[in-house]
Structure 1
Amino acid sequence: MLQKLKKFVHRSLDYIIHPVLRRHAIYQPPDAAAQLQLMLTYQNLVRENKPLPPLRDTGFRVYSECDEDGILLYIFSLIGWTNKRCVEVCAGDGIQCNTTNLILHHGFNGLLIDGDSELVNRGRKFFMRHPNTAVFPPPFVHAWITRRNINELISNHGFSGEIDLLSLDMDGMDYWILSELNVIQPRVIVLEYLEIIGPERAITVPYSDDFWGFAKYTTNGMMDYAGASLLAFTKLLAGRGYRLVGCNRFNYNAFFVKEELARDVLPGAKVSDCFSHPKAQWGMAERFPKVKNLPWVDV
């Protein structure tokens, strides 16, 4: 039995460390069993006081847009989870978002909200038909989110107090909604920042109830005037007891963890660490100059 366990750990370590397997994982996402094995491997490394992979090398995609699923699995492997509750604000159709892997493969109870009725209906059908959630699909709420209704929307659907995860990707009023949100206290937050602003400015677009980021200023289908800078979010969340721990592969989604959780194995990251990808560098050089003179709010 001991020999089998040793072989299991060695195979898992190879999965984490070997660069070919790591690249392969981005395109061939692990199923639920492989994810559980990966979690055990991370936890074994902690118990044996062995080096952990850097957060940036742990990503893979199952239902997330990029590699957020793998990074979230890594974070929760280190900090554990409590009530397995999550909220996704602007979830689209739920088929591509940051909470779906946890809902389908790890038993999370989720609340998903989006302002597009067509996407919400598609998402409801997806969860109703999926064998892992058909018995009890997560509530998928159609609502246009504002500062005035965000807390009520969440509390009216049975979510309040501590939860394990909040995902926020509004393509617009993200900073203002997050600053107003107080009905839940997530242990982990993943949110989208506007990487083209760069690491040195703490700014956001002005608040508007009916803001639509795709209305005017875009480059190749990407919004140039929406959301907020990473420094703006980092300052806001530091005041609430969170630390930045890293970002996704393409430098536009950031991960924050409550300060008291796993500091010894999950160190804080610098804001400047989250702008190294060529896409971010190109955006700062080519996209931001087109919108830098538009109205921005210093925060």
Structure 2
Amino acid sequence: MSLGLGCAQLGNLYQERTDDECAAIVDAAWDAGIRYFDTAPHYGLGLSERRLGAALAARPRDAYTVSTKVGRLLEPADEGGDDLADGFAVPRTHRRVWDFSRDGVRRSIEESLRRLGLDRIDIALLHDPEHRPDAALRYGFPALAELRAEGVVGSIGAGSKDAGMLARIVAECAPDVVMVAGRYTLLEQPAAAELLPACAAAGVGVLAAGVFNSGLLAEDKPREGLPYEYGAAPSALLRRAAELAEACAAHGTTLPSAAIAFAARHPAVAAVVVGADSAGQVRRNAALFAAPPPDALWPDLAERGLL
């Protein structure tokens, strides 16, 4: 079981960050022993990949694992304005174009390698294949398999918040790994019904991302204004998060600690991938990962009807 750093924030997720701030986030992760880093072209129109590559450039290549994604090509576009409609505070110099074709996947990986400054990708994932399911399964996954055979990428699979789509990929494509985002968390566990058992049976590694549900579980005491699914958290979920936090406090732990530990407890989960807005948050998350809540918390949450 390992802890990974989600790198959407390196692409200015929600707000601008300097190159130095982003380098400090990666440095803090490295110092905390984190060696898995997840990014995507989608994150900041390529900015996340460029910044991650720069931050890792002086590290021994065999000492870390990088995953990135395919499915959205970045086409130059002089549209003006910013990309905040898609969540990133960057100039809108490119537009995203869905493309799971063989040529599109190969081009995407080639461009990611250039932005990252790497000669290979350790893990390549179909990104949100539910948006183009037929193309992703018929063309995208075989294209990744070709690249794996050529040694350009290592493990292959898919990343999505659609647990049903990921279960279909496990059944039809035999991936090495899947990344499930926000669907196996302390707050909600739809991936537990079909996806995780299928992965365990098939020997497919699960990368559990979005374990804070976009931020709702990231603080000790949930409050109005915290995000869920990249928007304001609905009041019903905010109340549920508050009940979870109260139960955690009764066991001498915190909501974010339990959120990380819950995902890590499932035997199919190979890594928990957590984002961070600052170097301090990275250090906090690493400390929480290293000191999980007491075992008595889990049956208590079940008795309270919170799991």
Q: TM-score, normalised by structure 1?
A: 0.36
Higher strand share: 2
Higher helix share: 2
